[in-house]
Structure 1
Amino acid sequence: MRLPGSKSMTARALIISALADGPSVIEAPLRARDTVLMSAGLRALGVAVDTSEDDRWTVVPGPLRGPARIDVGLAGTIMRFLPPAAALAEGTVEFDGDPHARNRPLLPIVEALRSLGVTIEASPTGGLPLTVSGSGLVEGGEAVIDASGSSQFVSGLLLSAPRFTKGLTLRHEGPPVPSAPHLRMTTHMLRAAGAVVDESVPDVWAVEPSGMRGRTWTIEPDLSGAAPFFAAAAVTGGTVTLAGWPSDSWQPVERVIELFTALGAEVTRSEAGLTVRGTGTLRGISADLSEVSELTPVFAALAALAEGPSELRGVAHIRGHETDRIAALAAELGKAGAGVAEFPDGLRIEPRPLSGTAFETYADHRMAHAAAVIGLAVPGIHLADVGCTSKTLPEFPELWAGLVARS
């Protein structure tokens, strides 16, 4: 099967292209709610973003200006990547989004920008709605941040930092930053556009002031979006090949391979793509998912179907994602009959006979993925809202139906 491009790479390519010195082309981008809203937000700031072709978007930078109103939807990438760019605009830029978006953590990036001299009005909790009063430049310099709640706090600042007058030296202080592969993706993509980034000191990122080149970005297939399809192979004893997988990836493919192998699947890479084959055995695992926290719902679904208990830890920060994913998974897997114990940073899942239930999705695309995986093995699983998958993979219902029909 083929999947659209990575959401994470598409979002970063859009921001870097908008701040570059010349036009850029984004090949094989992801067209989904998050990236469509990101494109609209950049247009509101004065950037020409042409998304008329599905497989080739163009971005032509322009002077950033307000007044502008930006709808972030429920996307962490927009609410954390665009405010630093908006600080470079001349004028006022307002941010708001879906009701639950106001509950998603944003204060660390707000405080960091304020420490750099940016004028921001935020809610009493430091989140949305947000108003950035830009003066056309950000002086930059040094800032300290606690990014233990999301690696996007760091990425959001780094993506705009080359345009700061003095660049940026950003230091993290606090518990470990989750989703380290996403930080590496950010720094790799910045360097590919000509930025100078030093990350040789742990938890410190130094970005020199510089221009960034317009270029062509070729977006990899979305590894997070592929996870439920790989899980389908593991559950059913079938085989799924993700075509078009690059030999050298910026996504955490090695960790994903380790996890599916630990669960009992066989994973191979070839010219055909990345292939997962179910072996008829689904083992429980004890795993730190901090590097691939987006996949916690899918791995929790697999754990509920495994032959033994599992512990999934290291993902306390996903309580602040589209919903509190730890609490939501405990509730919904428990309704289906699994034995679930909730930790501050994860779950212990004890497989038990499961039965059909209405699986609430909480407007969260990853919860829908978990329900779909459970439904392969348990009759009577009904997704309350499969439409929420449009956030990152609008084609999910059709792709899933086609996969099941072929099996």
Structure 2
Amino acid sequence: MTGNPEHTALWPAPSASGPVDATVTVPGSKSVTNRGLVLAALAAEPGWLRRPLRSRDTLLMAEALRAMGVGIEETVSSATAGADGGEAWRIIPAGLHGPATVDVGNAGTVMRFLPPVAALADGPVRFDGDPRSYERPLHGVIDALRALGARIDDDGRGALPLTVHGGGALDGGSVEIDASSSSQFVSALLLSAPRFNQGVEVRHVGAALPSLPHIRMTVDMLRSAGARVDTPEAGGEPNVWRVTPSALLGRDLVVEPDLSNAQPFLAAALVTGGRVTVPDWPERTTQPGDALRQIFTEMGGSCELTDAGLTFTGSGCIHGIDVDLGDVGELTPGIAAVAALADSESVLRGVAHLRLHETDRLAALTKEINGLGGDVTETEDGLRIRPRPLHGGVFHTYDDHRLATAAAIIGLAVEGVRVENVATTAKTLPDFPDLWSGMLGTSVAPARRA
């Protein structure tokens, strides 16, 4: 563990004294916010993002675009253009330029989505970030951009830190990549492709693609901004995406709630046999978090989608599950936490790629749940979880926001769980401890130093 006081602080995860009954307003989607920022920055006219997520990852994205010359004005808006009032960001495209320095933190969307944007800038753009960012795969984006005409200095690492020497334009064309370690490699190329001289044809070669819903989200948002995209789902070739060069429209976009960040609150209803409502849950969405409706229902709850939002109700029993999470891997930590409290064994499959996320999530979940008395084993592509009586202890998070929320879920049913560096949740879910305590109707417990 690091000596940084923020990292050694231990947050006592509150236990539930009974069934929860709460309405929790979840902040906006990180995935939608950061894709929306990139598309707006590349548009031919100004646009708006309303109810954006304000978190470490999205603020890093905004600051990076500002460094390359994009205007982003943050305001509190009244209800206009059919959108709800609240925070809004006005994005004003400009000529992209360097020299610039981008801090990616440990945000996969920033480190992968912005090198193609930087290739369109006039001048060098240097990318750097947290130590863990150096270990996360980036070779798919780097190799593809070189094949499309970009000049990149990475000292042969295929990873950060690196410098993109933007030439003000990029030829584009056809490229083959292996995106089996991250679907973000595909999304990164597609988002900037309308601005490439020839557009792009991305052909995935390799093992099965993880997190396909995120690619569908990218495609949907591109089409909404006026881009023409041909996809495998629309009768195209398998594993091939084509984007035609075109001008992008400036949009007025209301950001959906982040459904993956709704996971711990829905899990609280399941674990406590209570009820939680998340307002503004969309009827149709490409967010992977929408799969929680089916997964948590199979694990013992029920849900109803109404004008008030999604209401999830626990039955008082938690059942184990055998499920392939390849498309929705980011949900794995929360599902593993619930599975550790279930009445039967669970097998979580299809998520070998989680070893390359903010941390090695499979190893971390195994170590930390077992440290509380659990019985979790890693498989080739996931986890096998045999429920055991759990006890209190320190749950380390490895600077991973989803490890922190998984620990909070376990803490509902297990007294004495102390979460190291709960502040890491600010990566995508600001004020998580306050939201959690508000759901439980308790005061906020301060973190204590280890």
1:347 equivalent in alignment to 2:383: yes
Cα deviation, residue 406, structure 1: 6.4
**1:150 alignment partner in structure 2:** 182
Question: 2:69–2:95: 8 Å Cα contact kept in structure 1?
Answer: yes
User: Secondary structure of 2:176's partner?
Assistant: strand
User: Secondary structure of 2:105's partner?
Assistant: coil
1:396 equivalent in alignment to 2:432: yes
Distance in 2 (CA, whole Å) between partners of 1:106 and 1:48 is 27
- Percent of aligned pairs sharing the same letter: 54
Q: TM-score, normalised by structure 1?
A: 0.98
Higher alpha-carbon deviation: 370-379 or 241-250: 241-250
Q: TM-score, normalised by structure 2?
A: 0.89
Distance in 2 (CA, whole Å) between partners of 1:5 and 1:123 is 37
Higher alpha-carbon deviation: 376-385 or 117-126: 117-126
Cα deviation, residue 52, structure 1: 4.3
Among residues 61, 64, 73, which one is paired with 1:38 in the alignment?
Answer: 61
**1:24 alignment partner in structure 2:** 47
Change (3 A) 1:140 1:392: same
Cα deviation, residue 262, structure 1: 1.0
CA shift digits 1:59-110 (9 cap, x unpaired)? 0000000000000000000000000000000100000001111111101110
Distance in 2 (CA, whole Å) between partners of 1:50 and 1:101 is 28
Among residues 175, 198, 201, which one is paired with 1:166 in the alignment?
Answer: 198
Question: 2:395–2:417: 8 Å Cα contact kept in structure 1?
Answer: yes
**1:7 alignment partner in structure 2:** 30
Q: Pick 1 or 2: higher relative contact order, CA cutoff 8 A, min separation 6.
A: 2
CA shift digits 1:11-46 (9 cap, x unpaired)? 000000000000000011000000001000000000
User: Secondary structure of 2:166's partner?
Assistant: strand
1:211-290 → structure 2 map (5 Å cutoff): 211-252=247-288, 254-290=290-326
User: Secondary structure of 2:368's partner?
Assistant: helix
Distance in 2 (CA, whole Å) between partners of 1:247 and 1:108 is 34
Distance in 2 (CA, whole Å) between partners of 1:344 and 1:73 is 29
1:7-406 → structure 2 map (5 Å cutoff): 7-53=30-76, 55-199=87-231, 200-252=236-288, 254-405=290-441
CA shift digits 1:99-144 (9 cap, x unpaired)? 1111111011100001111001115431000100010000000000
Question: 2:260–2:288: 8 Å Cα contact kept in structure 1?
Answer: no
**2:17 alignment partner in structure 1:** none
Cα deviation, residue 284, structure 1: 0.4
User: Secondary structure of 2:261's partner?
Assistant: helix
CA shift digits 1:165-216 (9 cap, x unpaired)? 0000010001111111110000000000000000022210000010100010
Higher alpha-carbon deviation: 316-325 or 47-56: 47-56
Distance in 2 (CA, whole Å) between partners of 1:364 and 1:376 is 20
Question: 2:259–2:290: 8 Å Cα contact kept in structure 1?
Answer: no
Contiguous gaps of at least 5 residues in structure 2: 1-23, 77-85, 444-450
Q: What is the one-letter code of the residue matched to 2:169?
A: L
User: Secondary structure of 1:79's partner?
Assistant: helix
Question: 2:270–2:301: 8 Å Cα contact kept in structure 1?
Answer: yes
User: Secondary structure of 1:317's partner?
Assistant: helix
How many residues align? The count is: 407
Cα deviation, residue 267, structure 1: 1.3
Distance in 1 (CA, whole Å) between partners of 2:156 and 2:441 is 50
CA shift digits 1:259-291 (9 cap, x unpaired)? 011111111111110111110110000011111
Cα deviation, residue 223, structure 1: 0.3
Q: What is the one-letter code of the residue matched to 1:225?
A: N
Distance in 1 (CA, whole Å) between partners of 2:70 and 2:275 is 43
Distance in 1 (CA, whole Å) between partners of 2:259 and 2:291 is 11
Distance in 2 (CA, whole Å) between partners of 1:55 and 1:283 is 40
Higher alpha-carbon deviation: 249-258 or 308-317: 249-258
Cα deviation, residue 250, structure 1: 2.7
Cα deviation, residue 253, structure 1: 5.2
Cα deviation, residue 246, structure 1: 2.2
